[in-house]
Amino acid sequence: MTQRVPIRMNVANALQWLGTLYRNPADAIKEHVSNAIDEHLKAQAAIGAKACCTVTFRLEKRQVEIAYPYGMTREEFQGALQRVADSAKRRSKVVQIGQLGIGIFGFQQIGRKCAFFSRKDLSSPTIRVTLREGWDKAEFDAARKHESLDSPGIRILISELKFDPTKPRGPLAAEKLARLITDKFGSHLSSGRLAAEVWVGAHLHVVQAPSIDLPRIGRGLEHIRIAGPRDHVARLLFFFDPSGKAVVSVRHAGVVVVEDLKLVNAYGLEDSVYTSGYVRGFIDADFLRPLPARTGFDENEDWVALLSLLDRHRPQIEAEVEQLRTEEREKELSGIQRQAVQLAREILDLEDFRDLELPGGLAKAHAVTGNGRAEPAGRQTAERSQQPGDHPDPRGPRIRYSELAFQEGARRHSRYVAGVVEANTLNSDYQREVAGGTESKLAYATLVIGKEAIGFNDKSGASEEQLEKLLTFHFTLKRRIGRNGRSEKRPARERAK
């Protein structure tokens, strides 16, 4: 005969453990922002909401205070405490942020005692509810006169702190908390539903709504219906970020749950354009089921349906990103071209290069000749000035710099053709230098412009091979010399010799 043995639990220990599900104190305390927004959304549905829900944090050495304008009755508090890990919000017709009703115990990451002073409306008194670390009971009292709230709302005091929250580099630093609220609740801040402020003494940190000034991509995908028995809608908000360091987040009820899509098992999408760093934005999926403390989502059929939808629209996003990356490269090259030509002109204006004949667009300023007349220094010959692309004004802007793959292969660094200095993108020195950032790209472009200006003086073309070898020597030497002036480390076997 099967015997059924009841499972018993130490409630106090379990409640203490629930309070540690959050990653850090700032993540735990921000749960009160979630609760405030949920109450605001409920009030909006009942046509009794304020224009904006303001959440205020006050960080002091001995206590942390949180306040917002929606309170609870004694009965509502009792109901919440008797449904831990089974929140009534799950059955609400209004989409709610909170799902498990465990955020109330997150105070244990900050202090050992938490008191709630709550007033539902003007006709209700202020009640006081006290929770303590290691206790499995809540204390309910009427608030003292000096503790009573003047208007409806809730005031939360966390005391017997485990650290000093006013330290600028502490686990609950004001800037860290403000940034977390911006990152997690950006959509609510942008819509005006939420305002938040963090006080440390008399110093105020206003939580700013996020601002994204980047080109939109994925237009037409803002609201996509997911095929299936349930009437699910996903909302995609994507931007092109040329930095290559952007992330795509997944939100539930406007709050970020998955901060970066590449950190989850997304069935191949973690290696796609969505996680390339060139797409910044959000996937809003209120139909998903968040895991405890919103550390991720339940990977059920709804999650798989969302990933299938993203995969279906991936080609469109890839094409748009590639187009914008091409435009960004052209824009960057145009800027480098202007700087490199200008820098080459300035260097070639130095005394050491006064005797050079230069291509049109690079010739130096007018110099005084022996007969006292001002003539362009390093003048072009009649033969050279007839070359296509050479500008009749020796300091004219005609000369250009471009980058392309040479059909003959990777050996040559550059060439001068019809007023254009062309850099070979197949050359290994080019590829290493452009990977070093803007300054390295500018230096490379200026160097090959200088090389072609010097080679312009050789009518026979015999110096081309020597200049190419000199560039190869230069970049080989550069690779072997470390930033601190010491040689690159050799293998241990060679050092032993």
Least confident piece of the model among 4-18, 50-64, 159-173, 352-366 = 352-366
Above pLDDT 70, what percent of the chain? Answer: 85
What is the distance of C-alpha 311 from the center of its chain?
22
**What is the pLDDT, as a whole number, of residue 53?**
94
| DSSP β-bridge partners for residue 422 | 402, 415
Least confident piece of the model among 156-165, 312-321, 342-351 = 342-351
**What is the pLDDT, as a whole number, of residue 86?**
62
**What is the pLDDT, as a whole number, of residue 383?**
37
Q: CATH 3.30.565.10 residue ranges in the chain?
A: 11-206
Between helix 438-455 and helix 314-348 the angle, nearest 10°, is: 50
Question: Whole-model pTM?
Answer: 0.66
**What is the pLDDT, as a whole number, of residue 213?**
92
Q: Is the pLDDT of residue 293 over 50?
A: yes
Q: Residues 254, 259, 264, CA angle at the centre, nearest 5°?
A: 120
Least confident piece of the model among 243-257, 261-275, 361-375, 403-417 = 361-375
Above pLDDT 90, what percent of the chain? Answer: 48
Least confident piece of the model among 9-13, 106-110, 262-266 = 9-13
Would you place residue 485 in the very low, low, confident or very high pLDDT band (cuts 50, 70, 90)? low
Q: How many CB atoms lie within 10 A of CB 204?
A: 11
| pLDDT, average across residues 451-470 | 85
- Strands 111-119 vs 127-132: parallel, antiparallel or unpaired: antiparallel
- Strands 216-217 vs 232-240: parallel, antiparallel or unpaired: antiparallel
Least confident piece of the model among 77-81, 234-238, 280-284 = 77-81
| pLDDT, average across residues 448-452 | 91
Query: Which pair of tokens denotes residue 254?
Result: 């406007």
**What is the pLDDT, as a whole number, of residue 342?**
86
- Domain 11-206 in CATH: superfamily? Histidine kinase-like ATPase, C-terminal domain (3.30.565.10)
Of residues 17 and 434, the one with the higher pLDDT is: 434
Only one residue has tokens 């010097």, namely: 454
**Cα dist from 349 to 90, 122, 352, 373, whole Å:** 75, 81, 8, 19
| pLDDT, average across residues 377-396 | 40
Distance CA 40, CA 188 (A): 11
| pLDDT, average across residues 386-414 | 68
Q: Is the pLDDT of residue 472 over 70?
A: yes
> pLDDT per residue over 169-219, tens digit each?
999 999 999 999 999 999 999 999 999 999 998 999 989 998 899 999 998
**What is the pLDDT, as a whole number, of residue 486?**
52
The set of residues, in sequence order, having a beta carbon less than 8 Å from that of 292 and lying 6+ positions away, is 21, 100, 102
> pLDDT per residue over 91-139, tens digit each?
455 455 545 467 788 899 999 999 999 999 999 999 999 999 988 889 9
Supply the mean pLDDT for the chain.
Answer: 83
Of residues 437 and 148, the one with the higher pLDDT is: 148
Handedness of CA 421, 422, 425, 429 (dihedral sign): negative
**What is the pLDDT, as a whole number, of residue 345?**
84
